[in-house]
Amino acid sequence: MTSAASPIGVFDSGVGGLSVLREIRALMPGEDIIYFGDQGHVPYGPRSMKQIQDFSEGITRYLLEEGAKIIVVACNTASAAALKYLREMFPDVQFVGMEPAVKPAAEKTQTGKVGVLATPATFQGALYASVVERFANGVELFQNTCNGLVQEIEKGNLDGEETRRILEEALYPMLEKNIDTVVLGCTHYPFVIPLVERIVGEKVRVIDPAPAVARQVKRLLEAGGLENQNGGRVRFVTSGEADSVKSVLRVLLGIESAVESVTWKNDQEVLA
Protein backbone atom coordinates (compact mmCIF):
# COMPACT_ATOMS: atom_id res chain seq x y z
CA MET A 1 0.00 0.00 0.00
CA THR A 2 1.53 3.37 -0.97
CA SER A 3 1.47 6.50 1.19
CA ALA A 4 2.76 10.08 1.04
CA ALA A 5 6.13 8.78 2.21
CA SER A 6 6.36 6.40 -0.76
CA PRO A 7 8.75 7.37 -3.57
CA ILE A 8 7.91 8.83 -6.97
CA GLY A 9 8.83 6.32 -9.67
CA VAL A 10 10.51 7.82 -12.75
CA PHE A 11 11.78 5.93 -15.78
CA ASP A 12 13.34 6.48 -19.18
CA SER A 13 15.19 4.41 -21.74
CA GLY A 14 18.38 5.83 -20.25
CA VAL A 15 19.59 9.08 -18.66
CA GLY A 16 17.14 11.32 -20.54
CA GLY A 17 14.54 11.19 -17.78
CA LEU A 18 17.06 12.86 -15.46
CA SER A 19 16.06 16.12 -17.15
CA VAL A 20 12.59 15.54 -15.66
CA LEU A 21 13.95 14.24 -12.33
CA ARG A 22 15.94 17.45 -11.78
CA GLU A 23 12.77 19.55 -12.26
CA ILE A 24 10.81 17.29 -9.87
CA ARG A 25 13.56 17.67 -7.28
CA ALA A 26 13.66 21.46 -7.74
CA LEU A 27 9.90 21.71 -7.29
CA MET A 28 9.47 19.02 -4.58
CA PRO A 29 12.79 18.59 -2.71
CA GLY A 30 11.07 16.63 0.07
CA GLU A 31 10.06 13.78 -2.21
CA ASP A 32 11.85 10.43 -2.38
CA ILE A 33 12.41 9.25 -5.95
CA ILE A 34 13.39 5.95 -7.53
CA TYR A 35 14.78 6.46 -11.04
CA PHE A 36 15.08 3.58 -13.53
CA GLY A 37 17.22 3.97 -16.66
CA ASP A 38 16.84 1.09 -19.10
CA GLN A 39 20.42 1.24 -20.39
CA GLY A 40 20.10 -2.46 -21.14
CA HIS A 41 17.79 -1.56 -24.03
CA VAL A 42 18.59 2.07 -24.95
CA PRO A 43 17.81 3.54 -27.48
CA TYR A 44 14.08 2.98 -27.62
CA GLY A 45 13.58 5.33 -30.58
CA PRO A 46 14.24 2.78 -33.35
CA ARG A 47 12.32 -0.02 -31.57
CA SER A 48 8.83 -1.42 -32.21
CA MET A 49 5.83 -0.23 -30.22
CA LYS A 50 5.39 -3.78 -28.82
CA GLN A 51 8.95 -3.93 -27.50
CA ILE A 52 8.64 -0.52 -25.87
CA GLN A 53 5.32 -1.55 -24.31
CA ASP A 54 6.89 -4.75 -22.92
CA PHE A 55 9.86 -2.88 -21.45
CA SER A 56 7.62 -0.15 -20.00
CA GLU A 57 5.35 -2.77 -18.40
CA GLY A 58 8.31 -4.57 -16.82
CA ILE A 59 9.78 -1.33 -15.47
CA THR A 60 6.40 -0.22 -14.11
CA ARG A 61 5.99 -3.56 -12.28
CA TYR A 62 9.48 -3.16 -10.80
CA LEU A 63 8.83 0.43 -9.65
CA LEU A 64 5.49 -0.57 -8.08
CA GLU A 65 7.18 -3.47 -6.29
CA GLU A 66 9.67 -0.91 -4.95
CA GLY A 67 6.71 1.07 -3.55
CA ALA A 68 6.24 3.88 -6.09
CA LYS A 69 3.12 5.96 -5.41
CA ILE A 70 3.02 7.45 -8.93
CA ILE A 71 4.85 6.57 -12.17
CA VAL A 72 6.43 9.29 -14.32
CA VAL A 73 7.11 8.05 -17.85
CA ALA A 74 9.97 10.51 -18.36
CA CYS A 75 10.41 9.40 -21.95
CA ASN A 76 8.57 10.76 -25.00
CA THR A 77 9.16 7.53 -26.88
CA ALA A 78 7.75 5.33 -24.12
CA SER A 79 4.87 7.78 -23.62
CA ALA A 80 4.04 7.65 -27.33
CA ALA A 81 4.29 3.87 -27.51
CA ALA A 82 3.11 2.71 -24.10
CA LEU A 83 1.31 5.30 -21.95
CA LYS A 84 -2.21 4.24 -23.08
CA TYR A 85 -1.17 0.58 -22.75
CA LEU A 86 0.19 1.12 -19.22
CA ARG A 87 -2.98 2.89 -18.08
CA GLU A 88 -5.00 -0.10 -19.33
CA MET A 89 -2.65 -2.63 -17.68
CA PHE A 90 -2.47 -0.73 -14.36
CA PRO A 91 -5.85 1.05 -14.01
CA ASP A 92 -5.30 1.87 -10.33
CA VAL A 93 -1.90 3.51 -10.88
CA GLN A 94 -1.39 7.23 -11.61
CA PHE A 95 0.87 7.88 -14.60
CA VAL A 96 2.34 11.15 -15.85
CA GLY A 97 3.73 10.99 -19.38
CA MET A 98 5.44 13.28 -21.89
CA GLU A 99 4.18 14.82 -25.08
CA PRO A 100 6.06 17.09 -27.49
CA ALA A 101 5.36 20.70 -26.42
CA VAL A 102 3.66 21.70 -29.70
CA LYS A 103 0.91 23.58 -27.81
CA PRO A 104 3.15 26.18 -26.08
CA ALA A 105 5.28 26.42 -29.22
CA ALA A 106 2.25 27.17 -31.42
CA GLU A 107 1.06 29.78 -28.89
CA LYS A 108 4.44 31.53 -28.74
CA THR A 109 5.78 31.41 -32.32
CA GLN A 110 5.78 34.68 -34.26
CA THR A 111 6.97 33.27 -37.58
CA GLY A 112 4.49 30.41 -37.49
CA LYS A 113 7.34 27.99 -38.08
CA VAL A 114 8.42 25.55 -35.37
CA GLY A 115 11.11 22.86 -35.27
CA VAL A 116 10.47 19.59 -33.41
CA LEU A 117 13.30 17.24 -32.38
CA ALA A 118 12.23 13.73 -31.28
CA THR A 119 12.87 10.03 -31.94
CA PRO A 120 11.32 8.07 -34.82
CA ALA A 121 8.96 6.15 -32.48
CA THR A 122 7.72 9.42 -30.98
CA PHE A 123 6.92 10.87 -34.40
CA GLN A 124 5.24 7.61 -35.50
CA GLY A 125 3.01 7.38 -32.40
CA ALA A 126 -0.67 8.35 -32.35
CA LEU A 127 0.09 10.74 -29.48
CA TYR A 128 2.21 13.04 -31.67
CA ALA A 129 -0.41 13.00 -34.46
CA SER A 130 -3.05 13.93 -31.91
CA VAL A 131 -0.94 16.74 -30.42
CA VAL A 132 -0.33 18.19 -33.89
CA GLU A 133 -4.00 17.93 -34.81
CA ARG A 134 -5.14 19.59 -31.57
CA PHE A 135 -2.54 22.32 -31.23
CA ALA A 136 -0.57 23.06 -34.42
CA ASN A 137 -3.32 25.44 -35.65
CA GLY A 138 -1.80 26.47 -38.95
CA VAL A 139 1.76 26.51 -37.58
CA GLU A 140 4.26 24.85 -39.94
CA LEU A 141 6.23 22.09 -38.15
CA PHE A 142 9.67 20.90 -39.22
CA GLN A 143 10.71 17.55 -37.72
CA ASN A 144 14.04 15.79 -37.24
CA THR A 145 14.96 12.55 -35.42
CA CYS A 146 18.55 13.57 -34.56
CA ASN A 147 19.77 10.04 -35.26
CA GLY A 148 22.59 9.08 -32.85
CA LEU A 149 22.10 12.01 -30.44
CA VAL A 150 20.65 9.86 -27.63
CA GLN A 151 23.72 7.61 -27.74
CA GLU A 152 26.06 10.60 -27.53
CA ILE A 153 24.20 11.97 -24.50
CA GLU A 154 24.20 8.50 -22.88
CA LYS A 155 28.01 8.72 -23.08
CA GLY A 156 27.97 12.19 -21.55
CA ASN A 157 29.10 13.83 -24.82
CA LEU A 158 27.14 17.10 -24.50
CA ASP A 159 29.21 19.27 -26.83
CA GLY A 160 31.57 16.97 -28.72
CA GLU A 161 32.11 17.02 -32.48
CA GLU A 162 29.54 14.27 -33.23
CA THR A 163 26.91 15.87 -30.98
CA ARG A 164 27.44 19.21 -32.70
CA ARG A 165 27.31 17.59 -36.17
CA ILE A 166 23.98 15.87 -35.44
CA LEU A 167 22.42 19.07 -34.10
CA GLU A 168 23.72 21.30 -36.90
CA GLU A 169 22.43 18.80 -39.49
CA ALA A 170 19.00 18.92 -37.82
CA LEU A 171 18.78 22.64 -37.07
CA TYR A 172 20.38 24.45 -40.03
CA PRO A 173 17.64 23.42 -42.52
CA MET A 174 14.99 24.50 -39.98
CA LEU A 175 16.70 27.88 -39.51
CA GLU A 176 16.67 28.34 -43.28
CA LYS A 177 12.89 27.88 -43.09
CA ASN A 178 12.78 30.73 -40.56
CA ILE A 179 11.76 28.80 -37.43
CA ASP A 180 11.70 30.87 -34.23
CA THR A 181 10.97 28.00 -31.82
CA VAL A 182 12.47 24.53 -31.24
CA VAL A 183 10.55 21.87 -29.30
CA LEU A 184 12.73 19.32 -27.47
CA GLY A 185 10.59 16.19 -27.93
CA CYS A 186 13.05 13.79 -26.28
CA THR A 187 13.98 13.95 -22.59
CA HIS A 188 17.67 13.47 -23.43
CA TYR A 189 17.81 16.70 -25.43
CA PRO A 190 17.56 19.30 -22.60
CA PHE A 191 21.10 18.27 -21.66
CA VAL A 192 22.38 19.81 -24.91
CA ILE A 193 20.38 23.06 -24.66
CA PRO A 194 23.56 25.18 -24.34
CA LEU A 195 24.84 23.75 -27.64
CA VAL A 196 21.41 24.07 -29.30
CA GLU A 197 21.24 27.72 -28.23
CA ARG A 198 24.71 28.40 -29.65
CA ILE A 199 23.57 26.90 -32.98
CA VAL A 200 20.15 28.58 -33.26
CA GLY A 201 21.07 31.91 -31.68
CA GLU A 202 19.18 34.03 -29.16
CA LYS A 203 16.25 34.84 -31.49
CA VAL A 204 15.03 31.22 -31.40
CA ARG A 205 13.15 29.93 -28.32
CA VAL A 206 14.01 26.42 -27.11
CA ILE A 207 11.19 24.64 -25.24
CA ASP A 208 11.93 21.98 -22.61
CA PRO A 209 8.68 20.39 -21.31
CA ALA A 210 10.25 19.03 -18.10
CA PRO A 211 9.15 21.90 -15.78
CA ALA A 212 5.52 21.47 -16.92
CA VAL A 213 5.74 17.73 -16.27
CA ALA A 214 7.05 18.34 -12.74
CA ARG A 215 4.16 20.73 -12.09
CA GLN A 216 1.69 18.05 -13.23
CA VAL A 217 3.25 15.51 -10.85
CA LYS A 218 2.89 18.03 -8.01
CA ARG A 219 -0.75 18.71 -8.91
CA LEU A 220 -1.61 15.00 -8.84
CA LEU A 221 0.21 14.33 -5.57
CA GLU A 222 -1.47 17.35 -3.93
CA ALA A 223 -4.89 16.24 -5.20
CA GLY A 224 -4.31 12.78 -3.75
CA GLY A 225 -2.93 14.02 -0.43
CA LEU A 226 0.30 12.17 -1.30
CA GLU A 227 2.90 14.97 -1.11
CA ASN A 228 5.99 14.26 1.01
CA GLN A 229 8.01 17.11 2.62
CA ASN A 230 10.30 14.88 4.68
CA GLY A 231 12.12 12.73 2.14
CA GLY A 232 14.59 13.85 -0.50
CA ARG A 233 16.45 10.62 -1.19
CA VAL A 234 16.99 9.41 -4.77
CA ARG A 235 17.71 5.82 -5.79
CA PHE A 236 19.25 5.32 -9.24
CA VAL A 237 18.67 1.94 -10.85
CA THR A 238 19.97 0.79 -14.23
CA SER A 239 19.53 -2.31 -16.34
CA GLY A 240 22.98 -1.55 -17.76
CA GLU A 241 26.44 -0.88 -16.28
CA ALA A 242 26.24 0.88 -12.90
CA ASP A 243 29.73 2.43 -13.20
CA SER A 244 29.02 4.07 -16.56
CA VAL A 245 25.74 5.50 -15.26
CA LYS A 246 27.60 6.84 -12.20
CA SER A 247 30.04 8.71 -14.45
CA VAL A 248 27.24 10.18 -16.61
CA LEU A 249 25.41 11.29 -13.44
CA ARG A 250 28.49 13.37 -12.61
CA VAL A 251 28.41 14.98 -16.08
CA LEU A 252 24.66 15.57 -16.32
CA LEU A 253 23.71 16.44 -12.73
CA GLY A 254 27.07 17.05 -11.09
CA ILE A 255 26.32 14.48 -8.40
CA GLU A 256 28.09 11.49 -6.88
CA SER A 257 25.65 8.68 -6.19
CA ALA A 258 25.46 4.95 -5.81
CA VAL A 259 23.76 3.24 -8.74
CA GLU A 260 21.96 -0.10 -8.38
CA SER A 261 22.13 -2.58 -11.22
CA VAL A 262 19.30 -4.97 -12.14
CA THR A 263 18.92 -7.42 -15.02
CA TRP A 264 16.10 -8.32 -17.35
CA LYS A 265 14.80 -11.90 -16.96
CA ASN A 266 12.85 -11.47 -20.24
CA ASP A 267 11.37 -8.47 -22.04
CA GLN A 268 8.71 -7.95 -19.38
CA GLU A 269 10.35 -8.90 -16.10
CA VAL A 270 13.16 -7.22 -14.19
CA LEU A 271 15.20 -9.28 -11.74
CA ALA A 272 16.27 -7.09 -8.82
Residues annotated as catalytic (active site), given as ranges = 75, 186
Q: Going along 67-108, which residue ranges are E strands? A: 70-73, 95-96
Using CB under 6 A, pick the residue from 9, 10, 12, 36 that binds ligand DGL: 12
**Min CB(138)–ligand DGL separation in Å:** 26
Contact call for residue 13 and ligand DGL (CB under 6 A): yes
Nearer to ligand DGL, 45 or 58 (CB): 45
What residues form DSSP beta bridges with 115?
Answer: 142, 182
Using CB under 6 A, pick the residue from 77, 94, 143, 144 that binds ligand DGL: 77
Residue 130 burial (CB count, 10 A)? 11
Using CB under 6 A, pick the residue from 18, 21, 73, 150 that binds ligand DGL: 150
Residues 6+ apart with CB under 8 A from 44: 13, 38, 51, 52, 55, 75, 77, 78, 81, 119, 121
Contact call for residue 209 and ligand DGL (CB under 6 A): no
Distances in Å between the alpha carbon of 46 and those of 13, 192, 206?
12, 21, 24
Nearer to ligand DGL, 65 or 162 (CB): 162
Contact call for residue 186 and ligand DGL (CB under 6 A): yes
d(CA 199, CA 193): 10
Q: Which stretch binds ligand DGL (CB under 6 A): 25-33, 39-47, 231-239, 261-269?
A: 39-47
Amino acid letter, residue 133: E
Sites of contact with ligand DGL (CB under 6 A): 12-14, 16, 42-45, 75-77, 119, 122, 150, 186-188
